[in-house]
């Protein structure tokens, strides 16, 4: 009985992590290096899920995904009470951790190195992949792990937009809730231990990445390749 919600949670988390990597990294790069009107507002909106109650986040998602929304009325896509809705909820709550951590990592890269790459004729994409990413990858990966761990533990918003349908939308946090409500304490204990172990492993890995990043900065021995090269 534990395997079905666990596998669904892993599936939801994997897809949410992919969305976090693409969307979160793009936002982190934009906020770390971009200078544009509304930048503070964008950052505030991205961070809101950290402060809002899960029920409020879930309500906003209900409005965005439910009847009357452009997604339903214009495109005819109905996601409520399906596992993709759980992926969206997980991505939204994990996004702030991914963006903040990755943004800090990107901001720690010396802009002079990127400017040197531009001087030598490198494109913006080349600068990112050959200078920024190699220097900031540990922080970006740490943000992805934190965001994914938060996505796996999402409960409130998922319950509102995906429901708690065994075998279809019931993730581990929802299954734990059901087990406690049903007096199945042994089963709840098993699932709690699994979730705790995954969370501890994620935090240990993040701290290890942060330590490695500090050691690399202290050594200062890595030199990026500048310019487009042959």
CA-to-CA dists, residue 145 to 61, 63, 122, angstroms: 23, 29, 30
CA 169 – CA 174 distance, rounded (Å): 9
CA 185 – CA 141 distance, rounded (Å): 35
CA 96 – CA 143 distance, rounded (Å): 9
Going along the chain from its start, the domains and CATH numbers come out as 3-217 (1.10.3720.10)
Q: What is the pLDDT of residue 76?
A: 84
List, in sequence order, every beta strand (DSSP E) within the chain.
none
CA 198 – CA 145 distance, rounded (Å): 11
Q: What is the pLDDT of residue 224?
A: 53
Q: What is the pLDDT of residue 230?
A: 36
**What is the number of other CB atoms lying within 10 angstroms of the CB of residue 207?**
11
Q: What is the pLDDT of residue 220?
A: 59
Residues of the chain falling short of pLDDT 50: 221-223, 225-230
CA 156 – CA 162 distance, rounded (Å): 10
Q: What is the pLDDT of residue 37?
A: 92
What's the sign of the alpha-carbon dihedral 38, 39, 44, 50? positive
CA-to-CA dists, residue 30 to 19, 27, 132, 148, angstroms: 16, 5, 13, 21
Q: What is the pLDDT of residue 71?
A: 86
162, 86 Cβ separation under 8 angstroms: yes
CA 180 – CA 182 distance, rounded (Å): 5
Nearest to 145, CA basis, from 46, 15, 20? 20
CA 187 – CA 189 distance, rounded (Å): 5
3-state helix, strand and coil shares in percent for the chain, rounded to the nearest 5: 75, 0, 25
């Amino acid at each position: 009985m534990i395997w079905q919600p666990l596998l669904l949670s892993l599936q939801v988390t994997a897809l949410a992590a992919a969305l976090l990597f693409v969307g979160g990294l793009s936002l982190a790069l934009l906020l770390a290096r971009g200078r544009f009107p509304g930048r503070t507002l964008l950052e505030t909106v991205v961070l809101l899920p950290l402060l809002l109650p899960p029920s409020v986040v879930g309500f906003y998602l209900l409005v965005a995904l439910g009847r009357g929304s452009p997604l339903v009325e214009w495109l005819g896509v109905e996601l409520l009470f399906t596992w993709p809705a759980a992926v969206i909820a997980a991505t939204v709550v994990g996004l702030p951790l991914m963006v903040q951590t990755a943004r800090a990592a990107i901001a720690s890269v010396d802009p002079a190195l990127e400017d040197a790459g531009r001087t030598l004729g490198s494109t913006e994409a080349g600068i990112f992949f050959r200078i920024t990413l190699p220097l900031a990858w540990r922080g970006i990966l740490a943000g992805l792990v934190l965001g994914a761990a938060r996505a796996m533990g999402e409960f409130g918003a998922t319950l509102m937009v995906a429901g708690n349908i065994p075998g279809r939308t019931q993730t581990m946090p929802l299954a734990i809730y059901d087990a406690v409500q049903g007096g199945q304490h042994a089963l709840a204990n098993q699932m709690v231990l699994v979730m705790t172990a995954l969370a501890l492993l994620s935090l240990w890995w993040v701290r290890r990445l942060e330590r490695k990043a500090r050691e690399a900065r202290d050594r200062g021995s890595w030199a990026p390749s500048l310019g487009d090269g042959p």
